[in-house]
Amino acid sequence: QEKVNLEARSPDDLRCPIVVIMGHVDTGKTKLLDKIRKTNVQEGEAGGITQQIGATFFEKKTLEAQTAKLNVTEKFDFKVPGMLVIDTPGHESFTNLRSRGSSLCDVAILVVDLMHGLEQQTIESLTMLRKRGVPFVIALNKVDRCYAWKTCKDTPIRDALKEQDEGTVSEFRSRATDAKVQLQEQGVNSNIYWEMGEDDWMNSDFVPLIPTSAVTGEGVQDVLMLLCQMAQRKIWKQLMWCANLQCTVLEVKAIDGLGMTVDVLVVNGHLREGDRAVFCTLNGPIVTEIRGLLTPPPSREMRVKSEYIHHKEVKGALGVKVIGNNLEKVMAGTPVMIVGPEDEEEDIKSEVMADLTKLEAKLSTDKSGVLVQASTLGALEALLQFLREETNPPIPVSAIGIGTVHKRDVTKISIMNEKGHPEYATILAFDVSIEREAREHAQEMGVRIMTADIIYHLFDQFTRFMDELTAKRREDAAAIAVFPSIVKILPQHVFNQKDPIIVGVEVVEGILKVGTPLCIPALGGLLIGKVISIESNGREKNTARKGESIAIKIHNEGNPNITYGRQFDATHNLFSQLSRASIDALKANFKDALENEDWRLVVKMKKVFGIL
């Protein structure tokens, strides 16, 4: 496959660009996708939009027809043979999909709610798009919410704006300016697209803003036009059709009568019935013959369950369903390759596995950690990177998986309970479903399953859980852990000589806490009792630090007869009673609560107490 002559590629032979729709929840991504699919073309021209697997395909002639009115002024020459819009809007799983290292999508629509401006996921999408170098347009959606908007169904946005009252236009203007400023704050230069100069267009970082209404259709054809312009102006090189197969798994699905099928997106090259295809699974590569290539029927009316069009051969870019044997474990987001007549099967296998192998190599070598399960390899990668780089302390990961969470996954991670790491008996499930059996099993095995469709939510859940756990552990450990302190009795401030002993003291070193047992090493470790309260200037407190003078109340449960002036007096200082166990508990749970100086005190006191 690699031997294809790349020179044969030509700017006159472009493949259609692959488009994704991204943005914050509720900005109108789904609605916009629907609108794009249904925007009325003149009667009789409604064809030219076909449903593929996981994507909608727009023929060139449809794009031309849909943008005809706009093109009176734009005079744009469509060279792309069409456009392929991915059907699942907004999903990180899809937006992070890659094919041979580069982004699977060629251009993107980032949807912003004109009424709300930039929101969290907008910013995340911006980051992702820039990181992957994907050019994009921004749809400033819900323009029809501007006060007293007059609907101009499915018209170019400039025509629609001409119909509006001055007040409506000025509201639109001011909101658009707000969005522009917010984008600027994110380091993104943008402008209303028709106000962009030629220079802006040439500057590859400049982002065109397109006001739209996904409900009434204003500006939707502008979006289509802009995407095509962007494709032809900015990325035509990457769109030159190429015979090297470039193909990625979108989804693995069981279909009645067909068994397990794999939905793939062919970006470049061909797939043919009878090809020996190599797929990636967690258990290694599988090689299987392609038994069928299917796309949905051309029109909705004809669509009967499981009635597909069969193809002998398909050519990128398009979405297609592959039938074959042993496809159960194929992972979404991984590449598909074909073993050609001159190829070494082993080479192809290791290439197909390369991304996963790399990812596994990067997994923490810790034997203890959570199980991370995601819908696609791309999503998994994003999630792992996030856990590694953005969480503090990083969340250790001991196992990964793709697709539905099964009972066996629960069993696998439940081992953490036995290993003494119950906190890692946790599955972080990102955008995948959980088998009912798995849920039940998790209950029995003490495994937590946390689910979310947004990476940050998953992380928040886990962090909250860890915080609660830490708090609880501290509570448990507080009974054992003893903070180091040395206190000096102030003999003129002895208020009560006998149980409860009440004396004024000065903290000479360390941290004195309520609950701390105090003893006198110089008197053979005589236990005076536990501090049951600390008072400073008439106020109760929990902690006193070096240098503070306070009154403490001491109770000795085992020996209530201990009396100031009889067994002990102010000659000797009182010490926190440390032991090996108390020091261990302190280290494990209160590391951050102690300063270096306090830890040095612990070392010093260890000697005093003869702790090895």
- Smallest gap from Cβ 479 to ligand GDP, in A, equals 49
Residue among 96 and 485 whose Cβ is closer to ligand GDP: 96
- For residue 593, CA distances in Å to 365, 394, 511, 611 come to 29, 20, 10, 22
- Smallest gap from Cβ 192 to ligand GDP, in A, equals 17
List binders of ligand GDP among 561-600 (CB under 6 A): none
Among 30, 364, 451, 497, binds ligand GDP (CB under 6 A): 30
Residue among 23 and 81 whose Cβ is closer to ligand GDP: 23
Residue among 151 and 411 whose Cβ is closer to ligand GDP: 151
Q: Helix (H, G, I), strand (E, B), or coil: what is residue 464?
A: helix
- Smallest gap from Cβ 468 to ligand GDP, in A, equals 31
Structure-token pair, residue 557? 């449960």
How far apart, in whole angstroms, are the C-alpha atoms of residue 568 and residue 574?
A: 10
- Closest residue to ligand GDP in the complex (CB): 28
Question: Phi and psi for 150 in degrees, rounded to 5?
Answer: -100, 120
Residue among 215 and 278 whose Cβ is closer to ligand GDP: 215
271-277-280 Cα angle (round to 5):
120
The full DSSP string for 7-26 is GG--TTSBPPPEEEEEESTT
* Beta-bridge partners for 426: 448
How far apart, in whole angstroms, are the C-alpha atoms of residue 588 and residue 594?
A: 12
- Identify which range of 18-26, 45-53, 178-186, 272-280 contacts ligand GDP by CB under 6 A: 18-26
- For residue 555, CA distances in Å to 186, 495, 501, 532 come to 60, 14, 7, 7
- Identify which range of 24-32, 38-46, 345-353, 529-537 contacts ligand GDP by CB under 6 A: 24-32
How far apart, in whole angstroms, are the C-alpha atoms of residue 84 and residue 106?
A: 10
Residue among 209 and 339 whose Cβ is closer to ligand GDP: 209
Among 8, 25, 254, 471, binds ligand GDP (CB under 6 A): 25
- Smallest gap from Cβ 143 to ligand GDP, in A, equals 7
Among 27, 62, 103, 577, binds ligand GDP (CB under 6 A): 27
Per-residue binding letters, 410-449, with ligand GDP (x by CB under 6 A): ----------------------------------------
List binders of ligand GDP among 196-235 (CB under 6 A): 213-215
Instruction: Give the residue from 58, 107, 113 showing the smallest Cα distance to 82.
Output: 58
Residue among 89 and 324 whose Cβ is closer to ligand GDP: 89
Structure-token pair, residue 574? 């009182």
Residue among 30 and 536 whose Cβ is closer to ligand GDP: 30
Residue among 143 and 338 whose Cβ is closer to ligand GDP: 143
Please list, in sequence order, all residues whose beta carbon lies within 8 angstroms of the beta carbon of residue 244, skipping any fewer than 6 positions away: 1, 2, 4, 268, 269
Question: Phi and psi for 487 in degrees, rounded to 5?
Answer: -125, 150
Residue among 168 and 497 whose Cβ is closer to ligand GDP: 168
- For residue 268, CA distances in Å to 18, 57, 88 come to 11, 15, 21
Handedness of CA 270, 274, 277, 283 (dihedral sign): positive
Residue among 90 and 403 whose Cβ is closer to ligand GDP: 90
Residue among 213 and 373 whose Cβ is closer to ligand GDP: 213
Strand ranges (E), 127-203: 136-141, 190-192
Residue among 158 and 498 whose Cβ is closer to ligand GDP: 158
- For residue 215, CA distances in Å to 28, 31, 193, 328, 467 come to 9, 7, 21, 40, 44
Helix (H), strand (E) at residue 198 = helix 198-202
- Smallest gap from Cβ 87 to ligand GDP, in A, equals 12
- Identify which range of 25-33, 175-183, 255-263, 420-428 contacts ligand GDP by CB under 6 A: 25-33
Residue among 171 and 598 whose Cβ is closer to ligand GDP: 171
Verify binding: residue 26, ligand GDP, rule CB under 6 A. yes
Write the secondary structure of 544-611 as one string of H (helix), E (strand) and C (coil).
EECCCEEEEEEECCCCCCCCECCCECCCCCEEECCCHHHHHHHHHHCHHHCCHHHHHHHHHHHHHHCC
Structure-token pair, residue 476? 């448990």
Would you tell me the crossing angle of helices 580-589 and 596-609 to the nearest 10 degrees?
Answer: 170
Please list, in sequence order, all residues whose beta carbon lies within 8 angstroms of the beta carbon of residue 170, skipping any fewer than 6 positions away: none
How far apart, in whole angstroms, are the C-alpha atoms of residue 1 and residue 92?
A: 30
- Smallest gap from Cβ 111 to ligand GDP, in A, equals 6
Q: Helix (H, G, I), strand (E, B), or coil: what is residue 99?
A: strand
- Identify which range of 23-31, 286-294, 410-418, 479-487 contacts ligand GDP by CB under 6 A: 23-31
Amino acid at 288: T
Per-residue binding letters, 117-146, with ligand GDP (x by CB under 6 A): ------------------------xx-xx-
- Smallest gap from Cβ 315 to ligand GDP, in A, equals 31
Residue among 147 and 495 whose Cβ is closer to ligand GDP: 147
- Smallest gap from Cβ 33 to ligand GDP, in A, equals 8
Residue among 141 and 516 whose Cβ is closer to ligand GDP: 141
List binders of ligand GDP among 342-371 (CB under 6 A): none
Chain-centroid distance of CA 343 in Å reads 37
Total site size for ligand GDP, rule CB under 6 A: 17
- Identify which range of 22-30, 41-49, 181-189, 486-494 contacts ligand GDP by CB under 6 A: 22-30
- Identify which range of 27-35, 389-397, 495-503, 583-591 contacts ligand GDP by CB under 6 A: 27-35
Q: Helix (H, G, I), strand (E, B), or coil: what is residue 421?
A: coil
- Smallest gap from Cβ 145 to ligand GDP, in A, equals 5
- Smallest gap from Cβ 460 to ligand GDP, in A, equals 20
| Neighbour count for residue 231 (Cβ, 10 Å) | 24
- Smallest gap from Cβ 157 to ligand GDP, in A, equals 12
- CB-based contact 330:284 (threshold 8 Å): no
* Beta-bridge partners for 394: none
Per-residue binding letters, 71-110, with ligand GDP (x by CB under 6 A): ------------------xx--------------------
Give the residues lining the site for ligand GDP (CB under 6 A).
23, 25-31, 89-90, 141-142, 144-145, 213-215
